[in-house]
Amino acid sequence: MKRMQCKDIPDQTFIDAVRRTTPVGTSWRMRWDVATELESVFGPVPENLFMAKARRLVDRGLIGGCPCGCRGDFHPVDECLSPGYCCRPKTEERK
């Protein structure tokens, strides 16, 4: 059986999983809830793969949140409470 890779999870599918998850507090979605939602589409997704995909999406500014593994909260960019600080591609930070 072929091992799942980040490229096997479409960006929009991951973003949709974040959006479908009930926010905690303000606009945050906890990583465990997002992973459960994503697994309803793909079946089991290893945590390291989930976090790698989340890091890539955060780095590209497609979702906001903390992909380091501490608490793992995520949100869609259109619900960001700190746009310009939280939700922007890393390439913008280097300018």
Name the CATH code of domain 6-93 (choices 1.10.10, 1.20.140, 3.30.70, 1.25.40).
1.10.10
Per DSSP, the residues of 14-72 read: HHHHHHHSPPBTTTBEEHHHHHHHHHHHHS---HHHHHHHHHHHHHTTSEEE-TTSSS-
How does pLDDT run across 30-62, given as a tens digit for each residue?
Answer: 899 999 999 999 999 999 999 999 999 999 989
Please determine, for residue 94, whether its predicted confidence score (pLDDT) is greater than 60.
no
Mean pLDDT for the chain overall: 86
Q: Is residue 1's pLDDT more than 80? A: no
In this model, does residue 89 exceed pLDDT 70? no
Residues 6+ apart with CB under 8 A from 36: 21
Residue 91 has a pLDDT of: 59
Q: Over the stretch 54-68, which tens digit does the pLDDT of each residue have?
A: 999 999 989 998 888
Distance CA 59, CA 87 (A): 9
d(CA 16, CA 10): 10
